[in-house]
Amino acid sequence: MLLRDIIRRDVKISIRRSTDVLTGLIFFLLIALIFPLAAGTEKDLLLKMVGPVMLISALLASMMSIQNIFKPDYINGSLEQMMITTNSFSALIAVKIMMFWIIFSMPLILIASFIASAYYVTGFSIFTVVLTLVLSTLSLVNLSAFAASLTLAIRNPGALISLIVIPLSLPIIIFGSKAIEYSILSMDNSGPLYFLTGMMFFTCSLGPLVTASAIKISID
């Protein structure tokens, strides 16, 4: 199975299952917008909340669909076919993870700037929110994919995936929140952004290898 075949196949599946994408997007919107509605015009409170709320909303929205990233291929035998192809299995898994990020996380990032304005975020800080979400979601998707591979043989792995992903994602949420907070306060946020960038490269490079190994163990 070639890389372009996986890309074409995942795009077709996402079109047929567009309700999953819309469900994650609506879930993200509901969580992110409920706080401005509840807090009213408390500007200082909303500016402190915007970082954690955006990151946690993105994490929960992605976890709603991450259990299906490998499950259909596991059921119909496509994962076993990927393992015996001449292509690197970890490279194929990396493509599937990236396609999941493009299909499920990119729409959330595209509307993040509009949601941030509801929290009174303006100017360059909106760009920081978007950049933080890009770096954070790339790491979170790889962590979630690893959790999904560990629970591949379990019928309803949602709760177990949450127990695995949430503790691992805490440093990303904390540093991502600080990056947004420092930007709003006009402070130097290079430290948190460097950490998020390092985590992004670490998870994107090592994540597919570990996930591929976990899938092989689950299949065997």
Q: For 93-121, how does the pLDDT look when each residue is reduced to its tens digit (9 = 90+)?
A: 898 899 889 888 888 898 988 888 888 88
Share of the chain above pLDDT 70, in %: 94
Tell me which of 13-22, 150-159, 182-191 is least confident.
13-22
Residue type, 180: I
Return the DSSP state at 185. Answer: T
The Cα-based distances of 119 to 39, 45, 57, 115, 167 in angstroms read 10, 9, 14, 7, 27
Interatomic CA distance for residues 184 and 70, integer angstroms: 39
Interatomic CA distance for residues 51 and 64, integer angstroms: 20
Interatomic CA distance for residues 133 and 130, integer angstroms: 5
Question: Higher pLDDT residue, 43 or 177?
Answer: 177
Written as six digits, the tokens of 202 are 């670490």
Residue 1, pLDDT above cutoff 60: no
Residue type, 60: L
Q: What is the pTM of this model?
A: 0.88
Written as six digits, the tokens of 26 are 């609506």
Please give the distance of CA 138 from its chain centroid, rounded to a whole number.
6
